[in-house]
Each structure stands twice: as structure tokens, then as C-alpha cells.
Structure 1
Amino acid sequence: MLFLLHPALELEAVEVKGPSPYGSGSREEKVAFDKDDGLVRLRFPQRIGKGEGLEVVFQYSGQIRDDERLKIGPEGGYGLSGAFWYPQNFTGDLHAARVSLHLPNTPDRPDGLVGVVPGTLDQEGYFSPILPVFGIYFAYGNYTKKSIAWRGKEISIYCTNESATIADQILKTAEDILEFYSQKFGEYPFDNLTLVETELPAPRGAPSGAQGIGGVAPPTLVFLNSILLRMGKVPTNLLAHEISHQWWGNLVPVSLKKGYTPWFSEGFATYSDALYVEKTLGRERMMQHLVKMGHLYFQSTLYLEDEPLGTCYINSPMYRPVVYAKGARVLHSLRGLLGDEAFFRVLKEFASGYALKDATLADFKSIAEEVSQKKLDSFFEDWFEKKGFPHYKISEVKMEAVEGAPQKFHISLIIEQLGEIFTGSLEVAFYGQGAEERKEIFFGERSAPLSFTLPFKPERIVLDPDYWVLREPSGDDIWPRFFRAGGAKK
């Protein structure tokens, strides 16, 4: 069996103990091991039977320095799972754990130093994660705690004195987000939520001096970067993103099962943030938010090799542009295809049906098809197996008055796809003489001639005016062609 343990830590001994909680008999003996840099290989004295469990005890010690994922200091610190400060299963399997966090009793220790670990605290002083998790997290500091009650649950924030002035606003915003998501995704799945201010490291691979990540959200816990809180403004978008991970990434857990996609975690969380923008600021602001996401992805494809959404993982330089930004836009496209009622039913059924279970893209597709009663093969093939995005163009527009009905006009045009061919529904909007009319088409070809009869002479034609589909921002999808930023203007 393989584990990861930080290279700076010295592994002194490993033993297995019984009795086995799942099998018969008992064992208690030393286990041979090799430690090569951060990789630990255990060689068990005998085969572990199917369905049998063993308690594995690691004895190790040492100090970890110069790792931004683990910071220990007299005034505060944090530990992220990725620092491997404890033996972590090499394959990343979910696991349960009990953690005792002991803060040093030294003369320079500030009064009021408080430790926070996700989960519940028992009488012996051990924290137990609320459910099996990929990693164990902690933070401690000279915190002020504030709390409110919501639906019989406690929402708390641990913050420094510098950020205490906005603590009440943060709690109120978190309460509103939880209420909104509970309506959209299903009931909040845990007994409490704790927000913690702490320093956080820069993303992996970021240049030296880069700003730390905004937040991290294991079960029941949200770390918030101190830099953002000390600006004196509630980081609403960050809160909405990180709190949504209680559903997307925790309730429906991150998985290494073949067919799992990180879109379930980060793509869903990014779109959840957009949904909260829609709820608080309106649909137009949500669309502006999503257009920015699209531009982030488009710009990244100019200098990085694009990757399909279905197979883009955290080690890719395109991970954030594809999984977060494009992923949110793809979820928005699915909403447009299914309609709001079916779309939000899909999210609720996915969250409840795969609570604490491994989920695959095929599982999600199956729920979406069952709820909507639509075949979605082409949608999932296009957006998860192909790179890129569609590039639509309107050309050869012709119009003439209908004989004997001068107020009616025959319109003919050609819609082309200039790059990879994507299949799906598109709206074609016609504007003119103060009037508007929309036609829905199903389009999946290189080029298709279309014709319509309208009760007015159009002055402008726009493909997908509400921007449901992520597409090339070239202006080719508008006639007469002109540059535009954001949504189409009537």
C-alpha cells in the first residue's frame, strides 16, 4: 500500500493493530516499509482479506519548513491537506479521521489562541470530520468568534480584530447564500458551518509573489484569505463559490473513480456563484459575470493548449480556464437547453442521489435525460469530449416583401460553423421597427440555409441573443456585423 508523507518528516515505525473491525481474528505487529522522499510503501505481513479492516499506526516526527501549504507560527497558522503533514493514501481514497490539535503552551503564545478543525469535537478533545474526506485541514489564531443561528444550525466566523468590523455582514451574507442554495440544490447537508480567516498560499505553479488563493472549503468549514477580508468589504462572490462546495465537492464528493470529472466540484461552484449574482443583482449582471468567465477562457486559449472539459485535471495549466470558467458556461448552456424547472430538479436529484457516493459524468447525464425527457448525447459529446467552442457566422441575408402583404417579409440566410462543429438548439432573434421576434432552430451542420416569414422588416439579426451558448466572440453571429462586448443590443 502506498502513502504520501512530507519528505521532511521521519517515519520511525508502522504497525497494524487488531482486532479487525470487519473480519475475524486479530493482528498486532510491525510492518516493513520504505520511504523514498515523500513516498511511503508498506509491505503487510499477510494479505488483507476482502471486507477486512486493519488499524494502521504511523509513528513519525519532524519539522516542516518552507511549504506554503503548512504554516506554523506563534500567532497563528494553518494546514492544508496537500502539505502531507499526515500519511495520506496515495490513491486519494476517502477516509475518516480523528484529529487532536494541541497548541503550544509557550511564553510567547498569545492569549486567546483558538484552533479550528472541520467536524465535531468529542469529550476527549478529538475532532472527527463530519464525513469521509480527501484531506484533513486545520487553522488556529488569536480569533474573535461570532455566530448566528440559521434553521437550528450554527453559522460561525473566526476572524482577527482587523476584520471583525465586517464579521456580522459576512455572517448575514453566508446565511442568505445557504438559504438560496438550500432552495436550489436541496437542504444544507451538515449541522453547522464555520468560516475562518487565515492566510492561504498561492495556487500551485503560480509565480513567486502571487496572491494566495481566495478560499478552501472542506466539509462544514470555509477558509477565507485574510488579505481579502482586511479590505473591509464582504467577498460575496468568494463566499458564494466556497459555500457551494458544501454540496459540490463535499456532499457529492471529489472522486478518483473513472468517469468522475472535477467539473462537478469547480464548474458547479463557479456557476453557483453566478446563480447567486442573478439572485441578488439580476439576470443582466449574471450574464456580465458569465461573459467575463468566457473571456478568461478565450484569452487562455490564445497562449495555452486547450483541453476537453471532460479530461482536464488539476495538473493542467488550463485547469482553471477550462474547468472553472468554461465549465460554468457549459452548465449555463445545459440550463438553457433543459429550462429552469428541469435544470434545478436535475441539480437536486444529483445532490441527493450521489450524496457521499462516487459520481461519473454518465451518472449526471442519465439524471438529466430522465428528468428532462431529452436525449443529450450530442450535448455531452460536444462539450466534454471536444476542445474549443463553436464559431457561428450569419451570411447571405436576403429579404423581400411578401406579395400582396407588404407588411410581411420573407427572410433567407445561411448560418455557418467555421471551426469545430457543435450540435444544439439556437435562438435566432430578429429586431426592427420597434418589434422583436425569435425563432428556435436545431443546428449541427457546417452550413445550413434558413428561411422565415416575419410581420416586419428586420434591421438586425442576432444568434443566441441571451448568450446561452459559449461561442467565438467575433461579431460574426450578428447581422449586420459589428463589434460588441457582452450581450446583444436591440
Structure 2
Amino acid sequence: MLPSKHIENVDHLIENAKITLDYCIRNFGKYPFKSINFTEISSFTKGFAATAYPSAIFMPEDMVFHANIHADKEQDVINELAGHELSHLWWGNSQIDPDDREGSVMLTETVAMYTEMMLYKKMHGKEKMMDRIKMHQQIYDNEKGLSENQPIYRVSGDNPHIAYSKGAVAMVKLSELLGEEKVNMALKNFLLNNQYPKKPTSLDLLKEFYKVSPNDSTKKEIDRLFKMI
């Protein structure tokens, strides 16, 4: 395959990959592969945003490689897609094999959204990150009346506004409740304790959050965030 001529954002993409790898390795554990490959998909591919496979991340040309990232100073689409998708090499099927029942997307998309938000905070500051969280709250509020409402720990892939947007809001609130360091410790322990062939569920992740919680009041707040509508 010939190399892409869309090289405008390669430097920014590489820098984002370095920051993402540094954050995830330092907080969640080693990167499981020897290389990372970012592959351009035609923008004529309808209904495709991005996806991650072992050591390979596929993203559309018009959203990353050939996007005008300077047009909107308030939005960093490279972080939103590349950072998010690269984090799936931790929060996907590469290191864990989630039980494919209710709540499985909390172990993939919700935690990837958290990682995306922490990277955004690292790159652009907390205030900018909180602006993103307000946007995700609005997305959830706009969508929640259009389909069955579910608590995050039982969310299915049919409700991305819950797994992604409400999940991002809840995870950031969790980081404010426990502290980012404790949340990351719980996430790292979740990976260590649920390696293949185990089939973890969202309840296994909640157990790790409980373990780093200082008291019963905090555990009740965790239940409010993830178990209630």
C-alpha cells in the first residue's frame, strides 16, 4: 500500500501518541505490543469514526490525517480520536476479555473516555477539560429521552450516549471524589486481576473502585454514579 499524502497532522499525531503512551504505561501498565500503526481510512467510508485492533488504529482521513485542526482552537480532534483509540490497547480486547453482557462497554468505552479526558487535562488544562465534560453532559441530556435509559454499569452498545458521554461525566466526577491517582490505581489493579481467560464484568471494576474508597459514604457515591439512572 502506498503511503498517504495526507501528512499535515502527523507530527501532532505522534506527539499525542507519546503523551498517551506515557500516561497509560505509567498509570495502567506496560504497552502490550512492540509497535503502533496508525492507518488512514477513506472519508467515503460511511458510519466509521475510528477503531483499534492489536497494535493498529484505523482512523478516517477527514477527521485526523487530512483534518484542519487549526480551524477550531477549542477542539483537539487528534486527542479525541487518536488518544482515545490508543487507550483501547488497555481498555479493549487486547488485555482483557470482557463478559459480553450488560455493562461490558463500561470496561471499554467508558474507561477510554476517562483516559481521553485525563489526557485532555494534561495537554490543555483542567478548565478546558471541564468544558469538554459540559459538552458531554449536554449530549447525554439531549439523547436520554430517545431510548431506554440505563445505569452505566448495565449499559449496552445500543446507548453510546450513556457509555461515552454519561460515562465520561461519571468518571471525571469519580476522579474528583477519590483523586486521579486512586482511580488509576483501581484501573491498574482491575487489569492485573482480570487477565485472560477471565471474563470480567462491570461489577469487577466497581469492586476495584470500592477497594480504594476511604469509607462507606464514598462507596454509596460510587453506586450513585454508576448504578443509578
**Preserved contact between residue 51 and residue 85 of structure 2 (Cα < 8 Å):** yes
**Inter-partner Cα distance in structure 2 for 1:257 and 1:380:** 23
Select 2:189's aligned residue among 349, 353, 357: 349
Q: Which amino acid is the alignment partner of residue 255 of structure 1?
A: P
**Inter-partner Cα distance in structure 1 for 2:17 and 2:222:** 33
Aligned to 2:177: 337
Return the structure number with greater relative CO, CA threshold 8 A, min gap 6. 2
Q: Which amino acid is the alignment partner of residue 121 of structure 2?
A: E
Matches for 1:99-138 after TM superposition, within 5 Å: 113=1
Q: Which amino acid is the alignment partner of residue 201 of structure 2?
A: T
**2:209 is the counterpart of 1:374:** no
Matches for 1:19-30 after TM superposition, within 5 Å: none
SS in 1 for 2:37: strand
Aligned to 2:168: 328
**Preserved contact between residue 212 and residue 225 of structure 1 (Cα < 8 Å):** no
> Could you list the runs of 4 or more consecutive aligned residues of structure 1 that deviate by over 4 angstroms after TM superposition?
257-260
Select 1:231's aligned residue among 67, 83, 86: 67
TM-score, normalised by the number of residues in structure 2: 0.84
Aligned to 1:176: 19
Please give the per-residue CA displacement for 1:120-178, whole angstroms capped at 9, x wherever unaligned.
xxxxxxxxxxxxxxxxxxxxxx2x2xxxxxxxxxxxxxxx11x1243233223212221
**Inter-partner Cα distance in structure 1 for 2:104 and 2:221:** 16
**2:53 is the counterpart of 1:218:** yes
Aligned to 1:253: 96
Identity fraction in percent: 24
Select 1:358's aligned residue among 199, 215, 219: 199
Aligned to 1:164: 7
**Preserved contact between residue 350 and residue 367 of structure 1 (Cα < 8 Å):** yes
Q: 1:226 to 1:366 in 2, by over 3 A?
A: same
What displacement does 1:201 show? 7.6
**Inter-partner Cα distance in structure 2 for 1:230 and 1:341:** 36
RMSD: 2.4
Q: Which amino acid is the alignment partner of residue 365 of structure 1?
A: L
Number of aligned residue pairs: give it. Answer: 219
TM-score, normalised by the number of residues in structure 1: 0.41
**Inter-partner Cα distance in structure 2 for 1:200 and 1:220:** 22
Select 2:40's aligned residue among 197, 201, 225: 197
In the alignment, structure 1 segments of 5+ residues that lack a partner are 1-112, 114-141, 145-159, 203-210, 388-490
Q: 1:383 to 1:169 in 2, by over 3 A?
A: closer
Q: 1:352 to 1:232 in 2, by over 3 A?
A: same
Q: 1:257 to 1:164 in 2, by over 3 A?
A: closer
**Inter-partner Cα distance in structure 1 for 2:190 and 2:44:** 32
> Is the strand fraction higher in 1 or 2?
1
SS in 2 for 1:217: strand
Q: Which amino acid is the alignment partner of residue 170 of structure 1?
A: L
Q: 1:335 to 1:165 in 2, by over 3 A?
A: closer
Q: Which amino acid is the alignment partner of residue 153 of structure 2?
A: G
**2:228 is the counterpart of 1:386:** yes
**Preserved contact between residue 41 and residue 58 of structure 2 (Cα < 8 Å):** yes
Q: Which amino acid is the alignment partner of residue 161 of structure 2?
A: P
**Preserved contact between residue 103 and residue 155 of structure 2 (Cα < 8 Å):** no
What displacement does 1:335 show? 1.6
Over alpha carbons, which structure has the higher Rg?
1
**Preserved contact between residue 200 and residue 214 of structure 1 (Cα < 8 Å):** no
**Preserved contact between residue 50 and residue 58 of structure 2 (Cα < 8 Å):** yes
Please give the per-residue CA displacement for 1:41-99, whole angstroms capped at 9, x wherever unaligned.
xxxxxxxxxxxxxxxxxxxxxxxxxxxxxxxxxxxxxxxxxxxxxxxxxxxxxxxxxxx
Please give the per-residue CA displacement for 1:349-381, whole angstroms capped at 9, x wherever unaligned.
112222333212222222222233433653454
**Preserved contact between residue 153 and residue 203 of structure 2 (Cα < 8 Å):** no
**Preserved contact between residue 267 and residue 327 of structure 1 (Cα < 8 Å):** yes
